[in-house]
Structure 1
Amino acid sequence: METSLSIPGNLPGKTRNRAPMALSGQDFKLLKVFKAVVEAGGFSAAQNELNVGLAAISKQISDLEIRIGMRLCSRGREGFSLTDEGQVVYQASIELFNSVDNFRDRISCAQNELIGDLSIGVIDNTIFDPNSLLISALRLIADEAPKVRMRLSVSQLDEVERGVVEGRFVAGIVPVYQRREEFDYFEMYQEQSILYCGVGHELFDRADEEIDPEVLKEYNFVNHRYAIHSAKREFFDHDNLSTLATQVEAVAILILTGRFIGFLPCQFADRLVKDGRLRAIRPDVVNIQTAFCLILRHNTPRSPLIKAFADAMKIDLKREA
């Protein structure tokens, strides 16, 4: 869907004397639509989030482009993509709405009331983690602060981290394999992962006492892309790490073929073990521990809503991990 600014030659000329943009209520509305479209990945995908039709979204983005005087995105048969100017406006809109939220949080705190958006990013299969207090924490927030709008996203590790850095998520709950200076870390618990094989693998019916950990280096291993544990090198040669999986479920699927071995979190694998589809291999010596942390963007103010969420998760924000 082309707009007048999408057509070459229709862009207004840039001038050094252009007056600073004064934001109106309508501008805020248009920027919210633009932000939603970007985060959904396109016009069509944003319809459910915005609860409006495709034509209305297209007109609003066109209105914003005309208002700002820049082409913000390309859309059409080639798909949706941001222009360089659109990327700048998107990042600025994140910072703008974060500032508005901070203002609102401070006012609501003075009124002894929690409002605003609680946008949390978590990794896949969090629902099966018995150590996680996320569900009970969200229940408590919903009961005690009904005006809070919850935004929960399940994503890959790098996407959760990127969302926290960009401000799309106010917090993330992730396994920590290596620390980054962009975040403050608050450890919640340690997750144990064990080595598994599936039905059909030659180790499946072999007793643990018959399996020498050194022998494991002879087998094809599923490398979990984000689980960068130096301890893995104790059990596997680099040449055996050619099979790659991105998320926990993908690792499990490959193990279930009976052709690979790999590490899985115990709480995820337990139900497959009970079904007789997986078995643990030498859990007494072949296991790794991973810290699960709440991550917040480094050196950013802790809003009353974040503090309430941390309290519900039983996390002391004064004590970094």
Structure 2
Amino acid sequence: MAPINTIERGIMDGQFQVGVIPAHRNSASLEYNELFGETMLLYCGRRHPLFEAKKEQLTWASLAGYRFAGLGYHSPNMEISQRVRLARKATGFDQESIATFILSGEFLGFLPDHYAKSFEADGLMQAVKPSQFRYECSFLSVIRQSPGPQRVTQVFHDCLLQAHGKKREQGM
């Protein structure tokens, strides 16, 4: 696990052969292929004021009064939280740290719905108005375009795409 720019830079300089990152701005020197998507929902912990509150009237603007835990690197998470003006008061660098902030009851934060499922089942967190406070995130494989990847890397990459039911989309 590393920030998107670290993974891309590592692929460009040959430190990494294949990466998997959330979709964002593409670099012309890399090849991107879609693998899968995740639904990201806004969550609060059991001790958060919104856990028991009525949520029908909530808007993005009304969330500005609550503390938000967000990812500390350029990502779809950072983009949406800045666009809707969530008050980031805690920074994490992976889903586990964001979940920990949410579980404290002090912060709101976005998590993949499948990741939060067990916390929800245990009554430890809940999605906050999931029909509205959500976004979709696509994950892409990344390899170097030039010089092209070694044969073993290309075969691995093709297997990765096949495992996700995808085909190579050159030029993406």
1:98-141 Cα deviation digits (max 9, x unpaired): xxxxxxxxxxxxxxxxxxxxxxxxx3xxxxxxxxxxxxxxxxxx
1:236 equivalent in alignment to 2:53: no
Contact 2:71 2:91 in 1 (8 A): yes
C-alpha spacing 1:160/1:234, structure 2 compared with 1 (3 Å) = closer
- Structure 1, gaps ≥5 residues long: 1-122, 124-154
Instruction: Work out the CA distance in 1 between the residues paired with 2:145 and 2:158.
Output: 19
Out of 282, 296, 321, the position equivalent to 2:143 is 296
> Which residue in the other structure is 2:15 paired with?
168
Contact 1:200 1:258 in 2 (8 A): yes
User: How far apart are residue 156 of structure 1 and its match?
Assistant: 4.2
> Which residue in the other structure is 1:246 paired with?
93
Instruction: Work out the CA distance in 1 between the residues paired with 2:171 and 2:134.
Output: 26
1:317 equivalent in alignment to 2:162: no
Q: TM-score, normalised by structure 2?
A: 0.83
**Comparing both chains, which one has the higher relative contact order based on Cα–Cα distances under 8 Å and sequence gaps of 6 or more?**
2
Instruction: Work out the CA distance in 1 between the residues paired with 2:3 and 2:69.
Output: 17
> Which residue in the other structure is 1:266 paired with?
113
1:214 equivalent in alignment to 2:67: no
Contact 1:187 1:320 in 2 (8 A): no
Q: After the TM superposition, list the runs of 4 or more consecutive aligned residues in structure 1 that deviate by more than 6 angstroms.
A: none
User: How far apart are residue 242 of structure 1 and its match?
Assistant: 3.5
Contact 1:252 1:264 in 2 (8 A): yes
Name the amino acid aligned to 2:26: R
In angstroms, what is the RMSD of aligned CA positions?
Answer: 2.1
Name the amino acid aligned to 1:273: E
Q: TM-score, normalised by structure 1?
A: 0.47
Larger radius of gyration: 1
User: How far apart are residue 269 of structure 1 and its match?
Assistant: 1.2
> Which residue in the other structure is 2:32 paired with?
185
1:255 equivalent in alignment to 2:106: no
Higher strand proportion: 2
How much identity, in percent, do the aligned residues show?
25
User: How far apart are residue 189 of structure 1 and its match?
Assistant: 2.1
Instruction: Work out the CA distance in 2 between the residues paired with 1:208 and 1:312.
Output: 44
> Aligned pairs, how many?
166
1:204-231 Cα deviation digits (max 9, x unpaired): 1123325344311111111211234433
Contact 2:70 2:91 in 1 (8 A): yes
Contact 1:310 1:316 in 2 (8 A): no
Contact 1:192 1:265 in 2 (8 A): yes
Name the amino acid aligned to 2:151: P
Instruction: Work out the CA distance in 1 between the residues paired with 2:32 and 2:108.
Output: 31
Instruction: Work out the CA distance in 2 between the residues paired with 1:245 and 1:301.
Output: 34
1:275 equivalent in alignment to 2:126: no
- Structure 2, gaps ≥5 residues long: none
User: How far apart are residue 291 of structure 1 and its match?
Assistant: 1.8
C-alpha spacing 1:183/1:319, structure 2 compared with 1 (3 Å) = closer
Name the amino acid aligned to 2:80: A
Instruction: Work out the CA distance in 2 between the residues paired with 1:242 and 1:180.
Output: 30
